[in-house]
Amino acid sequence: MPDFKILNSKGKEIFTDVSLHPGEVISMEIEAREISKSAFARQLGMNASHFSELLHGKRHVSAATALKLEKLLGIPAEYWMRVQVYYDLFVERSKESKAA
């Protein structure tokens, strides 16, 4: 994920109303590589049902999982952790804006 901010014409930071859970990104990545979900779950050393929960946004990407993804997909662990953190922040900001 790039390290930049989107600003409006008054210089105020704009936050997007769309965010992807890292599971969605993983799902798109393994689909593009034509890897089956069950085979990839095995390669990760993850129970198939837990992997499914990750893909559906019900589980978070841990540091350990990020390192395994780095090894298997060649995408840095830091990327996966940033996607998770950005998603978590998006969810919390959405809760705050609804409560206000």
pLDDT tens digits for 51-81?
Answer: 999 999 999 999 999 999 999 999 999 999 9
**pTM for this one?**
0.80
Number of neighbouring beta carbons within 10 Å of residue 43: 14
Each residue's pLDDT tens digit, 22-58: 999 999 999 999 999 999 999 999 999 999 999 999 9
Q: Delimit the domains of the chain by residue range.
A: 22-99
Task: Indicate the residue type of 43.
Answer: Q
3-state secondary structure of 83: helix
Distance between CA 1 and CA 16 in Å, rounded?
Answer: 14
CA-wise closest residue to 83 among 33, 12, 14, 29: 29
Just give the CATH number of 22-99.
Answer: 1.10.260.40
